[in-house]
Every structure is written in structure tokens, then in C-alpha cells.
């Protein structure tokens, strides 16, 4: 019988935990989140990019827990706002802002922007740390910002983001569609392949993974 490995999903966001757990389904992990970790100090997200913050979180939480750690940093980039809110997406309206507060600020700043000038994308960076190596996987989902909030599924900016090729927001499309096409889904599918190789479920030789001392982008 294959030994179950404990994997720390370095977030307290229940929506992210659900999405990550679903895409990693079938791998022999006992998944825990920061909600399960007592006495763990929060990582300081001082990076200037999603990748930097993902690495910072993976390193910080591995050092405290000594568990194989998967961290994620993601957000929304809106072209007409010069790429805002970017890596500040979770705290766009204020530190510890709610999802609705962030969405309200976004729509306020975009008031009067025409439908053909509302291009945006979700970007995700996932870092995996085991104390010896760091792996990075990224994903991106192009789309546009709706004129108003619609739908109740998901979290974050899902009620105002319409992915390319669709006419409804992520919050109306629901988890089955989002988990196939989202930025996080794309990054997690790459991360899953990295984890499979760490578990030796598949041959370790792969162009996306270097030696145990390297940092690799998938």
C-alpha cells in the first residue's frame, strides 16, 4: 500500500482549498490547509509579482511546518487599469478587504469604460517546496470584465470576470467549467504532474523538472 503523504495547501481561503483539492484528487495526499495549522505565522507577501509571492509563501510555510508545501498566488490584471489590481488583487480596496469590496472598487474604477475596452486576465503562480527544491507552475485565463456583478458561485472576482469564449461570468458558469479552464486549473494541472513525479507515480525524467537542488518552471 502506498504511503499517504501530508501536503500543506498554504492558504486559509476555503474556495482555493476546494479547487486545489478537486484537481489533485486521486493522488495519495492527506491535504491540510493553514486552517489546520496552529501557531503558524503568516507569510509576508512582499514580492512584486505572483511568482515571487508564491515562492515566499512556500518557503515560509515549509520552514515552519516541515511539510511538503504548495502555495499559490493569483490575481486579476485589467488592461485599461494598467494591469491593476495585479498582485494586490486580494487587498485592492484595503488590507483585509472582502471580495465584494474589491469587486465594488474595480467596477467603480471602470465606470464608463466601453465593453470593447474591458479586456482582462486571471494569472496564477503555484510554488511547491520540499526543503531541497522549489518548483513553479503558472497559468493564465484571458477574458473581460462584465459591466455588473452576476452569479453566486466561486469567490474573489468571479462574479465580474467573463472568460474568453463564454458569455457568462465564472460565478455563473460554476465550478465544473471553471475547474477546466481557469488560470488556477491550468497551473494546478502542471503542479499535479510535478507532484506525480515527486511521488514517483510517473518516470522522474521530464523536461519540466530539474535536479533536486534546482528551481523549475512548468
- Provide the whole-model pTM: 0.84
Residue 102: its pLDDT value, please? 97
Task: Report residue 205's pLDDT band, with 50, 70 and 90 as the boundaries.
Answer: very low
What digits encode the pLDDT tens for the residues 116-170? 999 999 999 999 999 999 999 999 999 999 999 999 998 999 999 999 999 999 9
Reduce the secondary structure of the chain to three states and give it as a string: CCCCEEEEECCCCHHHHHHHHHHCCCCCEEEEEHHHCCCCCCCCCCCCCHHHHHHHHHHHHHHHHCCEEEEEEEEEEEHHHCCCEHHHHHHCCCCCCCHHHHHHHHHHHCCCCCHHHCEEEEEEEEEEECCCCEEEEEEEEEEEECCCCCCCCCCCCHHHEEECCCCCCHHHHCHHHHHHHCHHHHHHHHHHHHHHHHCCCCCCCCCCCCCCCCEEEC
Residue 16: its pLDDT value, please? 87
What digits encode the pLDDT tens for the residues 156-183? 999 999 999 999 999 999 888 998 999 9
Name the CATH architecture for the domain at 5-217. Answer: Alpha-Beta Complex (3.90)
Parse the chain into domains and list their residue ranges. Answer: 5-217
Percentage of the residues of the chain whose pLDDT score is greater than 70: 90
pLDDT at 211 over 70: no
Residue 212: its pLDDT value, please? 37
Q: Which residue has the higher pLDDT, 201 or 100?
A: 100
The question of whether 99 is a catalytic residue gets the answer: no
Alpha-carbon radius of gyration of the chain: 18
Amino acid at each position: 500500500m502506498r504511503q499517504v503523504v501530508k501536503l500543506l495547501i498554504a492558504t486559509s481561503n476555503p474556495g482555493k482549498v476546494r479547487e486545489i483539492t478537486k484537481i489533485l484528487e486521486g493522488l495519495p495526499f492527506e491535504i491540510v490547509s493553514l486552517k489546520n495549522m496552529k501557531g503558524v505565522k503568516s507569510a509576508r507577501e512582499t514580492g512584486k509579482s505572483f511568482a515571487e509571492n508564491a515562492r515566499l509563501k512556500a518557503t515560509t510555510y515549509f520552514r515552519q511546518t516541515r511539510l511538503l508545501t504548495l502555495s499559490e498566488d493569483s490575481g486579476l490584471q485589467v488592461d485599461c487599469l494598467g494591469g491593476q489590481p495585479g498582485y494586490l488583487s486580494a487587498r485592492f480596496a484595503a488590507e483585509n478587504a472582502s471580495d465584494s469590496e474589491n469587486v465594488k472598487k474595480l467596477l467603480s474604477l471602470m465606470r464608463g469604460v466601453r465593453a470593447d475596452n474591458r479586456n482582462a486576465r486571471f494569472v496564477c503562480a503555484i510554488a511547491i517546496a520540499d526543503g531541497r527544491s522549489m518548483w513553479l507552475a503558472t497559468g493564465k485565463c484571458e477574458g473581460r470584465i462584465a459591466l455588473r456583478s452576476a452569479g453566486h458561485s466561486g469567490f474573489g472576482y468571479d462574479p465580474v470576470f467573463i472568460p474568453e469564449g463564454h458569455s457568462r461570468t465564472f460565478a455563473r458558469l460554476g465550478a465544473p467549467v471553471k475547474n477546466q479552464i481557469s488560470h488556477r486549473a491550468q497551473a494546478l494541472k502542471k503542479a499535479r504532474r510535478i507532484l506525480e513525479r515527486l511521488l514517483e507515480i510517473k518516470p522522474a525524467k521530464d523536461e519540466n523538472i530539474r535536479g533536486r537542488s534546482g528551481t523549475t518552471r512548468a
